[in-house]
């Protein structure tokens, strides 16, 4: 695999006018597709948040989608958070653009302290143990609770990240009980296939898990309302199945040149 960090200057802030326009147009087109999917599913306009996945993109590209209206971004790799987040935050503040940032990729224990100052929520938590490690470090520097999503491997593919669906209900209940943690939702990367049915089923399954958690009536799980599901190739299906947040990268920036 090509290590794109050696090939691309992620702190670059200056991109061509054509590239700015391209990202601007793609962002508006994506918002429009989301509105159409909301409407087709009989859902309220703006009931779905759009998280823009910024892996491999530089600061100039990310600011272009933010200038076009993006208000939620997500990084996969803690290393990219470290490279870009402080400067991005500064630019957003200077321009009075309130942008929220989530971590959507795997987080090793030794990287937790490095990402905590820069993220508003972590979507890629896959176990109680990990949630405890994050919460402990979070509570040391924050008064507010740490907002987490449990990532569930609804694709059932071994290679994929996330907690085993068979364990997910118990894991979610246990995570919600951790002091200084607020479990705000569930996240999944859907089954990567062409047919619609298996993809929809994996999204429906995440929704059913969320509903089952809420139906317990438990005080601690009452905040677990978000469903982060759907990417560039399948977000209309996710919206039809109840996504409250979709995560798109290539729809905004084009195909990734680096994995
Ligand atoms: C890259 C990524 C996305 C967006 O993928 P696209 O196919 O480019 O839309 C969404 N979620 C996660 C966890 C990702 O890593």
Model confidence over 65-80: pLDDT tens digits?
999 999 999 999 999 9
* 32 Cβ neighbours under 8 A, 6+ residues apart: none
**In the chain, % of residues over pLDDT 70:** 97
For ligand 1, residues with CB inside 6 Å are 53, 55, 76, 104-105, 189, 231-232, 247-251
Ligand 1 centroid from CA 232, angstroms: 7
Expressed in percent and rounded to 5, the helix, strand and coil fractions of the chain are: 45, 15, 40
Write the residue with the smallest CA distance to atom 11 of ligand 1.
Answer: 247
pTM for the model: 0.96
Nearest to 172 by CA among 222, 135, 229, 138: 222
232: closest CA among 257, 250, 255?
250
Residue 160 pLDDT:
77
What's the pLDDT score for residue 258?
66
Query: What would the mean pLDDT of 83-96 be, rounded to a whole number?
Result: 97
Per residue in 129-146, pLDDT tens?
A: 999 999 999 999 999 999
pLDDT higher than 60, residue 2: no
Ligand 1 closest atom vs CA 235: 9
Task: Please give the number of the atom of ligand 1 that sits closest to the Cα of 55.
Answer: 1
Supply the pLDDT for residue 156: 75
Q: Do 172 and 148 meet the contact criterion of CB atoms below 8 Å apart?
A: no
Angle at 133 between CA 210 and CA 155, to 5 degrees: 40
Give 33's pLDDT tier (boundaries 50, 70, 90).
Answer: very high
Taking each continuous run of H as one helix and of E as one strand, the counts in the chain are 9, 8
Q: State residue 86's pLDDT score.
A: 97
Is residue 222 pLDDT above 80, yes or no? yes
User: What CA–CA distance (Å, rounded) separates 130 from 187?
Assistant: 15
On the 0-12 / 13-18 / 19+ scale of CB atoms within 10 A, 159 is exposed
Output the CA 165–ligand 1 centroid distance in Å. Answer: 20
Q: Which of 122, 206, 231 to mutate to test the pocket of ligand 1 (most atoms within 8 A of CB)?
A: 231
Cα 197 from chain centroid (whole Å): 23
Q: For 179-183, 245-249, 254-258, which range has the lowest pLDDT when averaged over its residues?
A: 254-258
Residue 105 CA: nearest ligand 1 atom is 13
pLDDT digits over 168-213, tens only? 999 999 999 999 999 999 999 988 888 999 999 999 999 999 999 9
Lowest mean pLDDT among 2-16, 88-102, 134-148: 2-16
Give strand pairing partners of 73: 52, 101
Q: How confident is the model at residue 96 (pLDDT cuts 50, 70, 90)?
A: very high
The top-level CATH class assigned to 4-253 is alpha beta
What residue has token string 């978000």? 226
**What is the average pLDDT value for the chain, to the nearest integer?**
95
Whether the per-residue pLDDT at 127 is higher than 70: the answer is: yes
- Alpha-carbon gap, residue 243 to 222, rounded angstroms: 17
Helix (H) or strand (E) holding 147: strand 146-151
């Amino acid at each position: 695999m090509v290590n794109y960090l050696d090939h691309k200057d992620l702190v670059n802030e200056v991109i061509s006018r054509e590239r700015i326009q391209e990202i601007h147009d793609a962002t508006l087109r994506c918002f429009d597709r989301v509105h159409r999917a909301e409407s087709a599913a009989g859902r309220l306009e703006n009931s779905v948040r759009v998280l823009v996945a910024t892996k491999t993109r530089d600061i100039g590209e990310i600011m272009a989608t933010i200038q076009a209206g993006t208000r939620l971004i997500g990084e996969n790799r803690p290393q990219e958070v470290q490279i870009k987040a402080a400067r991005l935050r500064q630019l957003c503040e200077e321009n009075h653009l309130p942008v929220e940032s989530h971590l959507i990729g795997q987080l090793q224990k030794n990287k937790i302290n490095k990402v905590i100052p820069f993220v508003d929520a972590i979507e890629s938590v896959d176990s109680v143990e990990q949630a405890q490690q994050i919460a402990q470090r979070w509570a040391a520097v924050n008064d507010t609770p740490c907002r987490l999503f449990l990532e569930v491997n609804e694709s059932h593919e071994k290679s994929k990240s996330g907690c085993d669906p068979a364990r997910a209900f118990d894991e979610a209940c246990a995570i919600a009980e951790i002091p200084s943690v607020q479990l705000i939702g569930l996240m999944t990367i859907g089954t990567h296939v062409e047919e619609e049915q298996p993809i929809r089923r994996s999204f429906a399954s995440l929704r059913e898990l969320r509903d089952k958690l809420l139906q317990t009536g438990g005080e601690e799980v009452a905040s677990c309302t978000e469903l982060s599901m759907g990417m560039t190739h399948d977000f209309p299906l996710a919206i039809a199945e109840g996504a409250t947040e979709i995560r798109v990268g290539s729809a905004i920036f084009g195909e990734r040149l680096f994995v």
